[in-house]
Structure 1
Amino acid sequence: MVRPLKRGKACMSCRFLKIKCDGAKPICGPCQMHPRDDECEYADGPGRSRTKVLEDTVSRLEARLLELENPESSTPSVLLHDPYHTLKAQRLSKSPPPHTAEAPLIFPPLSPFSPTSTTSSLPSGRRRKTLTPMEPNTELLGSSGSSTSPVRYSIPIPYLGLEEPSLNILQGSLDQFIPHAQQFGFFMHIPTFRRSTLLAFPLGHPTRPTPGLVSVVHLLGTHFSQPESLLGQEVPLLTRAVQNVAMDLFGSHPNKLLHTLQAHVLLAYYFLRTGSLLEAKCRVGTAVALALGAGLHKIRSTNMAAPATLGLIQDQPFMLPLPTDALQEAERINGFWTVLVLHKFITVALESPSQVCGALEAPGMKIDTPWPIDMDHFEEGILPLDLRGNSTVRAFLNGHPGDGDSYTTLTTKAAILFHRAAHLTGQWSPTMTPRDQAAYDAAAKSVNTLIEAFRAKLAPISAYDTHDPVIRNILLTHALVDAASIKLHWIFAYAYSASKQICLTAARNMVNYGDLNLQEMGHMNPIMGNLWMTACLVFIDEISRTRQMKTTWPEAAAVEDELMESYRNGLTALSLFSQDSPLMRA
């Protein structure tokens, strides 16, 4: 029996379709006979029906739309306020507290929001020291929001923190690194550096080296030691060193620029030695930018500083503050020349002959810094108060070598000649105009005269004690001068017998070590691999030419044997040092 329909008791579907509803619950008769997508709902049910919810939502949105269209005649539904207004006012009215020697420096972890993160890039009211290091292999997802969204990375970036090894391990790394430090561009005073590194202060303390420099030295010490137990640690040590070096310039260390420059130089030599050539070029470029940006090429210059182009700092260029003592000034001087030598090595070794140039040879570039000194024999009075510099490199290339050359200065000048000869080789072309040919001949003759005069001033390698640590610098200096002669004359060796003999003599000098035992030399500057390879190529070229003349030249066999002996000497040197240097192995 169908119950009579009561007014107002129809379901929502029947009311919408305007049909009779028997009011049966939970499903009325019409909805049972003709099932629909919408459920059978009643307005007086225990909960709000879906239709009622949709109606309420439409009413609310219509009211909000009316409010937005007439803001002046409506009252906002929600009043917003800034909960950090008071905190912002306090931060603007107070300057940050100065760092004291007793309190350790707080370094922020590498933030995924910005590679150059500062306090202003953090959320309002959040202090840097509350940040915690990210867990290794943390996935950082990019944001596709508005342009104001923070920059994020789409790859995992493990952050290894600023932790350093124990004192015993760090001391062991220093013992492994220091004997080879100068061969890898270390220009700081070694006793002072070692003493400050081992101080019992936390990493980043102003009396110790920067975290990046400590990390890089620890990396190189581990690399030189090559123990089986540490072979797997070199990659994470490299990651830690690169991260710390990247953050050092944003800290408050008093020597952050010089120490960061030193760290980049060491990393460049490390990458060059391990065969990571693109990374090496990147580090060299950064080191050159830091040296020039800090004005290290204008130390004790006799020329007045020109006003800055933009005049941001009282119409004066940005310069480092005055050195605190003579030792710091000597480190700055040596730091610039170390960067210059490294830059010349990289450009000659990795660039094509026509591209052997760079920022340090740009038009208008003028270097006034005095020549470097030997830090091993540093004394407080080694830098006279009246010492001044003016066009140091240009004067040397114009035939004014100067007096009192230190071992470091000799190596620097040899590198300049090596680079200059390689640069001239790249400028020569068989299709040169007579005018360009005359200019090239004059420049090449001038450089050749400088090379011969410089070689005449060098003491022979046999004059030095084979156990003297400076012997590696002397060997490098001689090799650079001989390689400069080869670079300058090799392109004319086929046409001119004199040029061929100059190349052969220079190549023989590079592989003739006298009584030196290369196995006792320790680690050599990575550029020595390129220099020995240059000598070996000269022998290969001449051996091939000699074999073609065997039928017409009776002495060809004896000459070939002598060339093969010299060639084997070069290969022996390369093979010896290639055991732990992928660059020489290549």
Structure 2
Amino acid sequence: MQDELINVQRCDGARPTCQQCVRANTPTECVYGQDAEESGIQLLEERISRLQGRIAFLESNTAGPILLHDPYAQTREDQPPRPVRPAARERQILMRSFSGGASQVGFFLHVPRFLQRMSALSLSTAPKHASTLINAVYLLGAYFSTDPNLQNLQSDLLADTLQDLSAALIELNPPAIIDVLQAEILLTYYFFSNSRTVEGVYHIDAASAIVLASKLHQIRSGRYSAVAGGHASRYDLAPPVDAIEEGQRINAFWVVFILDRNWSKALGRTPVLTDDESKGTGIDTPWPRSIETYESNPLPEGFRGFRTVQRFLYYPIFMNEEQNPLATHAKAAVLYSSAARVAAQTGMMANTLPPFWLALDDRIAQFEQVLPPVDRINPSRQDLHNKILLVNLLVHGAVIELHQPLEIQGPVFVSNSRSTRAALAAVNILTRINVERLSHVDPIVGFLLASVVQILMRALASSRQNTAATGSQQQIDILMALARIRSALGAWGVRNAYICACVLSFVTSQTDVDLLHADSQYTVIASLLEGI
């Protein structure tokens, strides 16, 4: 693939900020050529330094001005005295509860190996990195549980996890990195699910920093020696002992990549894992596999990766290596975030599409054609139904992101536009899965469906303006789609505070529901919208 397809902007070395970053209005992100590989290490060390300062302050009895703020201090002050750790039977139940939803919260470790290691450890004597991970697993187990007594353990388990994590980060070394990274991922899902986005961002940034510092984005890189430049780091991992350990590292990278790309879009911020060669973040790590596949069919010894994401996006021939659930999810996240980035350039040049717009639109369509049909998935596999839901919403969301800016530039928004059809296709997936059986979904689903709602509401308004007859089939279809979204968000919002917040936003956006009562068909649909 030719270099011009990659659209890499090289740093010109100007200080304090290169001209590329000045033009992009991102002066704080400027990293200079030969120092690029140090950016992840610096980010991680800065975070550890902040934690060390916070811990020193909390442990100090010296009076003086308050220079630091502990974001969890008020939470601890409001809590009753901490009870004894969960009993042995409770720990077993928490572990079983967690296992049912582990794949939904980014658990990338080899489960049999993890269970064998954890069974040999005691929380009271385990290294801090191990106790951090164990407590994080119990925390998510309590969150998943339907038992009120186990749910009530969450505040104490969270406090234990954060306390151990602070200590583990101070002593972070290669043997501890993977455990700490897994714990950071679990905490990220936990905080976002509970609509605690500030803390979610804090932990996703930590996970991203660990990924870059440990060079997990360059596993099996065909250019590793040139990128690394021979510089050693205290966060460098030893070579994996076997194919399973290597697979855990590969999958860990893609789990963090998905989180970083999806939530950066949802929160309106720049991703940390930018896949930018000038910043040392170019991604060469191969697409993930199921963890069992690494054991039965490890990567060939001489396999090397190169520009994994860029080749998937822009190589003239559609290459869809690895079609397991995690790889499919990662590729959908690539398309979604890339569509948002390209769409942001729409309108900068009059009557001209942004670079790579057509190529990306074509790639999204090609990927959509190879998505596995939900009808063929075993109804009992809640994990796979969750994954196919996410992938479909991301792919249809990519179409919306790419086409919507062009459509709203016209004199009138067309109610049957490409983005409207993508929004209806996204809702269609909700009609083909058992929403009630998915007790826990990724909180990003709330954000994706909120974007779908915006498109459908705009299409509904456009249809009313351009259709003389009330109760047109198109309007009924849109209203039924809105009712379906409301039903799904209502079901999932019971256990997910972020999605619950999306439900409230959804209701607020429907300012004209009362106008529907003029028609008997609309009256039924309006009751759905108001009463679900």
Calculate the TM-score normalised by the size of structure 2.
0.74
Which residue does the alignment assign to 1:585? 500
Aligned mates of 2:415, 2:473 — CA distance in 1: 22
8 Å CA contact 2:287–2:321 kept in 1: the answer is no
**Which deviates more from structure 2 when the two are superposed, residues 489-498 or residues 536-545?**
489-498
User: Is the contact made by 1:370 and 1:389 (CA closer than 8 Å) also made in structure 2?
Assistant: yes
Give the whole-Å Cα distance in 2 for the aligned partners of 1:570 and 1:447.
28
The aligned counterpart of 2:167 is 247
Q: 2:328 aligned with 1:328, yes or no?
A: no
Q: Using the TM superposition, give the Cα deviation of residue 260 of structure 1 relative to its aligned residue in structure 2, in angstroms.
A: 0.5
> Which residue of structure 1 lines up, in the alignment, with residue 311 of structure 2?
395
Aligned match of 2:95: 174
Report the counterpart of residue 490 of structure 1 in structure 2: 404
> How many aligned residue pairs are there?
439
- Listed as ranges, the gaps of 5+ residues in structure 1 are 1-111, 122-133, 145-149
- Equivalent of residue 298 in structure 1, options 213, 218, 232: 218
Deviation at 1:582, TM superposition (A): 1.2
Asked if 1:407 is matched to 2:325, the reply is yes
Partners in 2 of 1:293 and 1:203 — Cα distance?
30
SS state of the match for residue 427, structure 1? coil
CA distance in 1, matches of 2:467, 2:421: 22
In structure 1, what is the equivalent of residue 391 of structure 2?
Answer: 477
Distance in 1 between residues matched to 2:451 and 2:494, nearest whole Å = 19
Shift of 1:497: 7.6
- Cα distance in structure 2, aligned partners of 1:192 and 1:347: 33
Out of 204, 211, 226, the residue aligned to residue 284 of structure 1 is 204
| 8 A Cα contact 1:490 1:500, kept in partner | no
Matches for 1:7-26 after TM superposition, within 5 Å: none
Deviations 1:470-512 (A, max 9, x none): 2221221111111110111112334388895322222122222
Residues 535-575 of structure 1: CA deviation (Å, up to 9, x unaligned): 22221111112222343xx4753321111111111111111
**What amino acid sits opposite 1:481 in the alignment?**
V
Q: In structure 1, how many angstroms separate the alpha carbons of the residues matched to 2:94 and 2:380?
A: 22
In structure 2, give the amino acid aligned to 1:580: R
Contact 1:163 1:203 survives alignment (8 Å): no
For the pair shown, the structure with the greater C-alpha radius of gyration is 1
- Name which of 157, 182, 185 aligns with 1:237: 157
CA gap 1:445/1:478 in 2 versus in 1, 3 angstroms: same
- For 2:506, the equivalent position in structure 1 comes to none
Given that residues 550 and 556 in structure 1 are in contact (C-alpha distance below 8 angstroms), is that contact kept between their aligned partners in structure 2? no
Deviates more, 1:255-264 or 1:379-388: 379-388
1:428 paired with 2:342, answer: no
Shift of 1:333: 0.3
- Could you tell me how far 1:384 is from its partner in structure 2? 2.4
Query: CA separation in 1, counterparts of 2:404 and 2:200?
Result: 28
Unaligned runs of 5+ in 2: 1-50, 502-532
CA deviation string 1:409-447 (max 9, x = no partner): 111000000011111222223xx235xx64x43421111
Question: Are 1:419 and 2:337 counterparts?
Answer: yes
1:454-465 matches, within 5 Å, as 454-465=367-378
Distance 2:52 2:307 in 1: 45
Deviations 1:131-153 (A, max 9, x none): xxx9xxx9944347xxxxx9998
1 CA distance for matches of 2:479 and 2:219?
Answer: 49
Q: Could you tell me which residue of structure 2 aligns to residue 381 of structure 1?
A: 297
Alignment of 1:36-55 (within 5 A): none
Contact 2:243-2:294 at 8 Å conserved across structures: no
Distance change in 2, residues 1:162/1:292 (3 Å): farther
Percent identical among aligned pairs is: 25
For residue 546 of structure 1, what is the aligned residue in structure 2? 463
Cα shift readout 1:160-188 (whole Å, capped 9, x = no counterpart): 99985332211111111111111111111
> Could you list the per-position Cα deviations for residues 40-84 of structure 1 after superposition, in whole angstroms to 9, with x for gaps in the alignment?
xxxxxxxxxxxxxxxxxxxxxxxxxxxxxxxxxxxxxxxxxxxxx
Structure 2 CA distance for partners of 1:511 and 1:235, relative to 1, 3 Å: same
| Residues 141 and 153, structure 1, Cα contact 8 Å, conserved in 2 | no
Change in 2 beyond 3 A, CA 1:480/1:252: closer
Residues 1:248 and 1:164: Cα distance change in structure 2 (over 3 Å) = farther
Say whether the 8 Å CA contact 1:546–1:556 is kept in structure 2: no
SS of 2:247's equivalent?
Answer: helix
Letter in 2 for 1:568: A
Distance 1:402 1:558, change over 3 A: closer
Instruction: Give the whole-Å Cα distance in 1 for the aligned partners of 2:220 and 2:431.
Output: 41
- The equivalences for 1:198-347 within 5 A come to 198-199=119-120, 201-203=122-124, 205=126, 210-251=130-171, 255-306=175-226, 313=232, 319-347=236-264
Rounded Cα–Cα distance in structure 1 between residues aligned with 2:95 and 2:385: 21
Q: Is the 8 A contact 1:326 1:380 kept in 2?
A: no
Aligned residues: CA RMSD: 3.4
1:578–1:585 contact (8 Å) kept in structure 2: yes
Map of 1:575 onto structure 2? 490
Residue type of the partner of 2:422? A
Distance 1:366 1:317, change over 3 A: farther
Which residue of structure 1 aligns with residue 356 of structure 2?
443
- Taking the aligned partners of 2:146 and 2:291, their CA distance within structure 1 comes to 28
Residue number among 501, 525, 536 corresponding to 2:453 in the alignment: 536
Q: 1:289 to 1:151 in 2, by over 3 A?
A: closer
Q: Distance in 1 between matches of 2:222 and 2:370?
A: 28
TM-score by length of structure 1 reads: 0.68
The answer on whether the counterparts of 1:536 and 1:571 sit within 8 Å (CA) in structure 2 is no
Describe the superposition over 1:256-282 as per-residue Cα deviations: whole angstroms up to 9, x where unpaired: 101101111111111111111111111
| Deviation of the 1:297 alpha carbon | 0.8
Tell me how far 1:370 sits from its aligned partner: 0.7
* Residue matched to 2:38: none
- Counterpart contact for 2:415–2:458, Cα < 8 Å: no
Contact 1:373–1:408 (CA<8 Å) still a contact in 2? yes
Within the candidate set 110, 113, 116, 1:189 is matched to 110
Distance 1:258 1:239, change over 3 A: same
Q: Residues of 1 paired with 2:362 and 2:443: CA distance?
A: 28
Alignment of 1:54-133 (within 5 A): 114-115=53-54
- Equivalent AA in structure 1 for residue 384 of structure 2: V
Tell me the distance in 2 between the aligned counterparts of 1:555 and 1:368: 55
- Secondary structure of the corresponding residue to residue 89 of structure 2: helix
Q: Which moved more, 1:194-203 or 1:339-348?
A: 194-203
Give 1:548's aligned amino acid: Q
